Copies of this chain bind each other. A is one copy, B any other.
Amino acid sequence: MELHLDSESTIPAYVQIRNQLREQIMRGNLPVSARLPPERELARSLGVSRTTVVSAYDELKAEGLIKGHVGRGTTVVGGATWTAAQPIAWPAHFSNLGRRLIRHAQPSELLTLNRLSAQPDVISLALGLPDPTLLPLERLQRAWEAVVGRVGANVVGACSVQGTPAVREVIAARMRERGAAVGPEGVIVVNGSQHGLDILLRLLAEPGDTVLVEAPTYFGALQSFLAQGVRLVGVPVDEEGMDVQRVEFLLARYRPRFIYTVPTYQNPTGATMSLERRERLLALAQRYQVPIVEDDPFGDLHFDEPPPPPIKALDRHGHVLYLSTFSKNLSPGLRVGWLAAPDPLIERVALLNRVTELHPSTIGQHLVVEFARQGWLEEQIELARSVYRERRQAMDAALRRQRLSEMRWMVPGGGMFLWLHLPRQVDAQDLLVETGQQGVVFLPGSLMYPASGPRNVCRLNFSMPRQEAIEQGIAVIGAGLRRLLRRPAETADEPVVANPIV
């Protein structure tokens, strides 16, 4: 029988002794009839008082695990009362949301991708984040010094549930520059725009309600919506974004709780909704009194001319709930996203955030403000534009060099993604397995459709990989594709039809 006392522990010695004896009895190391050492002897060997051991034995006696016999010392009598305890059968304890998570949040494509991404030196075209090497460490150091100098320990202190006034000023000013009449009181900070999506869904929809989304759309939104049990109706996307012509019919038929759109450098297609469509969509939202959730993480990252103004800039009656973030133009670990919305929404979001998270992370907000004050935010965005512009060009050129006439893509005007159509008979998931073996991964596009979508599309990220990695990655994709095309197709009789360019 071995016992170890931790004299540093906050657990009283008698409890440590009791717990360890109990454990050994339960495990069968101390079987029924085993004799425990006399109290005085155990106390001496452990360097504790006899009272300590007596207390431990007394409790084990009260639990029915050991018994003292006059003249014969103390023996184990059984652990029956304890073996009755069973682990909880968790699946039966989860809510509907808890159960839906397993069904919707772990598609096989993602598991394959995770497995392949875990290789060393993998070239990933699968993510959608800024290149961290663009952020100068020296500015991160100086920004922190300046913030601690200005706000002291408040840099890690509590903040208002709406976010700090300073960061809301920065956000509102940037939105006004893009034409949206938004003041700091119309902005609420959230932990990234993904959090904003969750909040809006909780506040506006019940399970079973319908939401209109683009098809394809942002994968993370799809997963969030499906996990909450919302019914999704998809609107096709072409070069000018969501096909707004179809929206009126869908609004009338499904009466959705809101329309979710990423109008600018859409994730995943890179398409940008034309100004005309923005206005028509807004007019429809007004006519049918349906809110538009405009998710705009990429609007800053334009490579050629600036994009049309956000739908929020055209909104005069508060139909647009605008989400954006500093995750794509600065850095994702800041967790500073925001919602700009009419007062009744801001009020509810503040209440929900207070009861669910108290307040957003303070530190990131202070860093964003410092970057904005120093002019570093705009410099950072300008740098990202020029670097990602080059990488977009490199990806386009590398794809052209493949001379695979059945591959089609549109060169996006900004953002982080290029949407590639493979020959129709190719499943992007098969291609991923093929290229993954060569150390190149991307996101199969079938993940991004609300219902079943085409299997021959993929989302390629050009913001994170360097130019050489992009070139190598596209070469591997081209070679993999050629190998797949040479294989006898399982659907050999199906006609090969060129896909529309998206």
* Residue pair B153, A345 in contact (C-beta under 8 Å): no
Whether A137 sits at the interface, judged by CB under 8 Å, is yes
B residues in contact with A319, CB < 8 Å:
85, 88
Give bound CA distance, A89 to B344, whole Å. 9
Q: Name 14 A/B residue pairs within 8 A (Cβ), A-sorted.
A: A10-B309, A12-B308, A15-B309, A85-B283, A86-B286, A86-B317, A133-B153, A137-B153, A140-B155, A153-B331, A194-B357, A198-B357, A224-B356, A363-B364
Q: Which of B145, B318, B348 contacts A94 (CB 8 A)?
A: B348
Q: Are B93 and A204 in contact (CB under 8 A)?
A: yes
Using CB atoms, name the residue of chain B closest to A194.
B358
Asked if A333 and B158 sit within 8 Å, CB to CB, the answer is yes
A156, B334: Cβ atoms under 8 Å?
yes
Q: Is the CB of B101 within 8 A of A191?
A: no
Question: In the complex, what's the smallest C-beta–C-beta distance from A332 to chain B, in angstroms?
Answer: 4
B-side contacts of A275, CB under 8 Å: 12, 15
Which of B8, B88, B308, B359 makes the CB contact (< 8 A) with A318? B88
Report chain B residues within 8 Å CB of A348.
94, 98, 101-102
Asked if B352 and A90 make an inter-chain contact with CB atoms under 8 angstroms apart, the answer reads no
A356 is contacted by which of B26, B102, B194 (Cβ under 8 Å)? Answer: B194
A179 at the interface (CB under 8 A from B): yes
Evaluate contact between A155 and B333: CB separation under 8 angstroms.
Answer: yes
Q: How far is the CB of A291 from chain B (nearest CB, A)?
A: 6
Does A270 belong to the interface (CB within 8 Å)? no
Q: How far is the CB of A239 from chain B (nearest CB, A)?
A: 19
CB within 8 Å for A202 and B144 given contacts A157-B332, A357-B191: no
* Interface status of A24 (Cβ within 8 A of chain B): no
Check A102 against B152 for contact (C-beta < 8 Å): no
- Residues of B within 8 Å of A195, CB to CB, are 356-358
Q: Which residue of B lies closest to A275 (CB)?
A: B15
Query: In the assembled complex, how far is the CB of residue A439 from the closest CB belonging to chain B, in whole angstroms?
Result: 21
Inter-chain contact B355/A105, CB cutoff 8 Å: yes
* In the bound complex, CA of A31 to CA of B106 (Å): 58
Copies of this chain present: 2
Nearest CB of chain B from residue A220's CB, rounded to whole Å: 7
Q: Do A317 and B129 touch across chains, with their CB atoms under 8 A apart? A: no
**Chain B residues within 8 Å of A283, by CB:** 85
Does A84 belong to the interface (CB within 8 Å)? yes
- Which residues of the other chain, B, contact A95 by a CB distance below 8 angstroms? 202-206
Size bracket, chain A contacts = 35 or more
**A192-B357 contact given A90-B342, A331-B157, A342-B88, CB 8 Å threshold:** yes
A333 touches B352 (CB 8 A): no
Q: Which residues of B contact A383 (CB under 8 A)?
A: none
User: What residues on B are CB-neighbors of A355 within 8 Å?
Assistant: 101, 105, 194, 198, 220, 223-224, 227
Q: Does A87 contact B (CB under 8 A)?
A: yes
A95–B84 alpha-carbon span in the complex (Å): 43
Interface contact B93-A257, CB-CB below 8 Å: yes
**Quick check: is A354 within 8 A (CB to CB) of the other chain?**
yes
Partner of A333, one of B85, B309, B345, B363: B363
Report Cα–Cα, A195/B358, bound state, in Å: 8
In the assembled complex, A497 has its CB within 8 A of some CB on chain B:
no
Q: Which residue of B lies closest to A223 (CB)?
A: B355
Q: With the chains together, A309 CA to B283 CA distance in Å? A: 61
CA of A316 to CA of B213, assembled, Å? 46
Tell me which residues across on chain B come within 8 A of A12, comparing CB atoms: 275, 306, 308
A191→B223 contact, CB < 8 A: no
Q: Which of B129, B141, B345 contacts A158 (CB 8 A)?
A: B129
Whether A28 sits at the interface, judged by CB under 8 Å, is no
Give the chain B neighbours of A468 by CB distance below 8 A: none
Q: Is A289 on the interface with B (CB-CB < 8 A)?
A: yes
Q: CB within 8 Å of B: which of A284-329?
A: 286-287, 289, 291, 302, 306-309, 313-314, 316-319
**A8–B177 contact, CB under 8 A?**
yes
- Tell me, rounded to whole Å, the shortest Cβ–Cβ distance linking A83 to chain B: 10
Contact assessment for B191 and A361 in the assembled complex, using a CB-CB cutoff below 8 Å: yes
Nearest opposing residue in chain B for A89, CB measure: B289
The 0/1 profile, CB within 8 Å of B marked 1, for residues 218-253 of chain A is: 001001100100000000000000000000000000
Distance between Cα atoms of A87 and B342 in the complex (Å): 9
A97 and B351 form a contact (CB under 8 A): no
Cα distance A203–B100 when bound, in Å? 10
Chain B residue with minimal CB distance to A224? Answer: B355
Q: Does A11 contact B (CB under 8 A)?
A: yes
